[in-house]
């Protein structure tokens, strides 16, 4: 600085270093500050769709990733197992969603090349939808789908341990996990299930394994023994049947 005259040079340099995104990224695992931006708000189902790729352990086949799609308002989600995160997989998944529920008005995702590309840009324009991207290194902006990712990982681990399955067999459990997420009543939805609010269909209950809702009311009432010894015996029989 001996050849230049700059007032408050030290303060200017410090401010520059505090706002340099690359410096913060390479200096360690610290949270990179971002200016507050607009938050997507919706008032209708299928208005905003959040999606993200979740990396899992290798399976017996080539499947390694799960594309998670979640409706913002109702929390209704779909899980798509895939080999790799590509634009083709994303486009195919959004078309599957579109043929059943219609096209969401807004698609929110991170800036990965599997989302930010000419293929999805063209597809969104054809479907009259808008793509919204979150800033880099800011997963909390798209936190609603990150929460689903965490739930998927936790439920998969529990099911694999409960059924004593190899970790490579997780694709077979994916439909069960999706059903569990969509048919579970949530306090944030007024004790309603996502599938009920999104599709209008009544959710299934885990108690259906004990009582058949389609059984005629004229039949004799069913007596269910919920004592501890009876439950232990039923669990033992269930485990033996799965071996």
In a domain, 57, yes or no: yes
Residue 105: give its domain's CATH number.
Answer: 3.30.420.10
The domain tally of the chain equals 1
pLDDT tens digits, 183-235:
988 888 888 999 999 998 888 876 666 566 666 555 666 677 778 888 888 88
Under 8 Å CB-to-CB from 195, ≥6 apart: which residues? 76, 182, 183, 201, 203
* Domain presence at residue 34: no
Whether 4 maps to a domain, the answer reads no
- Regions of the chain short of the pLDDT cut 70: 1-6, 21-38, 206-222
In-domain check, residue 146: yes
Determine the pLDDT at residue 230: 86
pLDDT tens-digit map of 56-74: 988 888 999 999 999 999 9
**Position 233 in a domain:** no
Residue 184 resides in a domain? yes
Residue 221 lies in a domain: no
**192: in domain:** yes
Q: How many CA atoms lie within 13 A of 149 on its CB side?
A: 18
How big is the chain, counted in residues? 243
């Amino acid at each position: 600085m001996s050849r230049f005259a700059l007032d408050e040079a030290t303060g200017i340099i410090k401010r520059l270093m505090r706002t340099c995104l690359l410096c913060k990224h390479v200096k360690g695992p610290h949270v990179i500050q971002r200016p507050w931006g607009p938050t997507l708000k919706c008032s209708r189902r299928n208005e905003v769709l959040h999606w993200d790729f979740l990396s899992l352990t290798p399976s017996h086949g080539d499947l390694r990733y799960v594309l998670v799609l979640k409706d913002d308002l109702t929390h209704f989600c779909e899980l798509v197992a895939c080999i790799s995160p590509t634009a083709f997989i994303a486009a195919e998944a959004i078309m599957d969603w579109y043929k059943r529920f219609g096209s969401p008005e807004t698609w929110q995702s991170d800036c990965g090349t599997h989302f930010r590309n000419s293929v999805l840009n063209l597809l969104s324009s054809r479907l009259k939808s808008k793509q919204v991207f979150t800033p880099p290194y800011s997963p909390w902006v798209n936190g609603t789908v990150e929460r689903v990712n965490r739930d998927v990982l936790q439920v998969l681990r529990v099911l694999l341990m409960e059924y004593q399955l190899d970790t490579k067999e997780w694709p077979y459990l994916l439909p069960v996990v999706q059903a569990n997420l969509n048919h579970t009543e949530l306090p944030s939805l007024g004790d309603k299930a996502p599938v009920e609010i999104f599709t209008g269909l009544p959710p299934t209950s885990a108690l259906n394994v004990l009582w058949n809702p389609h059984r005629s009311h004229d039949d004799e009432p069913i007596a269910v023994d919920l004592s501890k010894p009876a439950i232990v015996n039923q669990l033992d029989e269930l485990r033996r049947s799965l071996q």
